[in-house]
Amino acid sequence: MLEALDKSTLNFNQDSLHLLNISLAIIMFGVALDLKVTDFRYIAKNPKSFGIGILSQFLILPLLTLVFVHLIQPPPSVALGMFLVAACPGGNVSNFLTHLAKGNTALSVSLTAFSTAFSIVLTPFNFGLWAGFYGPTASLLKEISLSYFEVFQTVALILGIPLMIGMYINDRYPGWAKKATKILKPLSILIFAGFVIIAFIGNYGLFIKFISLIFLWVLGHNFIALFSGFSLSKIFKLPMEDTKTLTIETGIQNSGLALVLIFTYFDGLGGMAIIAAWWGIWHIISGLTIASVWKNTSVVKRFQMVNK
């Protein structure tokens, strides 16, 4: 069964891939319309929480992913999918979830902006580095002969250019940017959701066959991501607002970018694609659950303070 998953490929036509690329670019453009240069200046004023967030996102999560892969020893394609998801920047919904959880939204926005901007370099680098530390995935990468420069170009095109254009428009035309983002955000999310549904329908049999294994692998991997941000925050004694933010930022990954790279450079390799697709569903569920718990906890505490 595991060997069948490793050799499987997801059915996905070129038009759907173009749609996914466009939807991700629109999502990034919509996020950038909310960003300002001052969001990056927040980093200089609050270096401790920001630095720990970057450490959690780009070093601790890939390291713990390597440990997790060694422990469970999944098929090489699944392990490769895990390394790719761990190398991607934070997901675009992390800011919303942080706000819902009563976390530090300014820190969340700064981390999202930084991780997205630097993912142009860090995503290809981190993916190749950590996948190379695990024998089966290192061998698989050699067979595929992946060009990291081409990956760099793809990430720059999908994330970097929309980020720069969106920030420029927000700086020059803030009124228009504010109106546009209200339309673009829900529209792009609907497009992306439509893509996931189409991919699921087109590969229904494959998903059903392997979902029990995939569910447990993604559940464990996502828990590790959330734990990474939470534990580092506690170790460095960050305020609870920042702890919430780092937990969510590390636990919400841009699995849409991972899917683009998988279908572009790995021909929809089954284990990779199913891992990234289920990540895209599960991290929203886990993120909403954690944010809702923290939100309700904050409401209860405020109610208790008012009634003292």
- Residue among 254, 255, 250 at smallest CA distance from 226: 250
Cβ partners under 8 Å of residue 136, min gap 6: 76, 79
Q: What are phi and psi of 269, to 5 degrees?
A: -50, 120
Question: Under CATH, which number does the domain 2-306 receive?
Answer: 1.20.1530.20
**Mean pLDDT for the chain overall:** 82
Domain locations along the chain:
2-306
Give the pLDDT of residue 1.
Answer: 57
pLDDT of residue 17: 67
Q: Tell me the pLDDT tens digit for each residue of 277-297.
A: 888 888 888 988 999 999 887
Q: Of residues 112 and 61, which shows the higher confidence score?
A: 61
Q: Length of the chain, please?
A: 308
Helix axes 37-45, 47-55, angle to 10 degrees: 100
CB atoms inside a 10 Å sphere around CB 304: 9
For residue 46, the model assigns a pLDDT of: 76
Stretch 229-257: mean pLDDT, rounded? 92
Question: Among residues of the chain, what percentage have pLDDT more than 90?
Answer: 27
Q: Are 255 and 277 in contact (CB under 8 A)?
A: yes
Which DSSP state fits 269?
B
Task: Write down the residue that tokens 């942080």 correspond to.
Answer: 98
